[in-house]
């Protein structure tokens, strides 16, 4: 399984997906959504 993932990550399609994920992670709107969910989850734990 890991070898298949490694091959995919090294492929052009895998690199494109990684680039999209990095761009999405750096987007302020996405960061705000992640922070909102993080707060909800942290609130449920207590």
Task: Please state, in angstroms and rounded to a whole number, the distance separating the CA atoms of residues 21 and 32.
Answer: 16
- The whole-number pLDDT of residue 46 equals 60
pLDDT in tens, 4-46: 999 999 999 999 999 999 999 899 999 999 999 999 999 877 6
Task: Please state, in angstroms and rounded to a whole number, the distance separating the CA atoms of residues 20 and 26.
Answer: 10
Please give the model's pTM, rounded to 2 decimal places. Answer: 0.58
Q: Which residue has the tokens 């609130």?
A: 43
Task: Please state, in angstroms and rounded to a whole number, the distance separating the CA atoms of residues 2 and 4.
Answer: 5
- The whole-number pLDDT of residue 1 equals 82
Task: Please state, in angstroms and rounded to a whole number, the distance separating the CA atoms of residues 12 and 3.
Answer: 16
């Amino acid at each position: 399984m890991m070898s298949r993932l490694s091959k995919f990550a090294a492929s052009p399609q895998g690199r494109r997906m990684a680039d999209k994920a990095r761009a999405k992670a750096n987007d302020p709107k996405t960061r705000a959504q992640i922070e909102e969910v993080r707060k909800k989850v942290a609130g449920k734990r207590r």
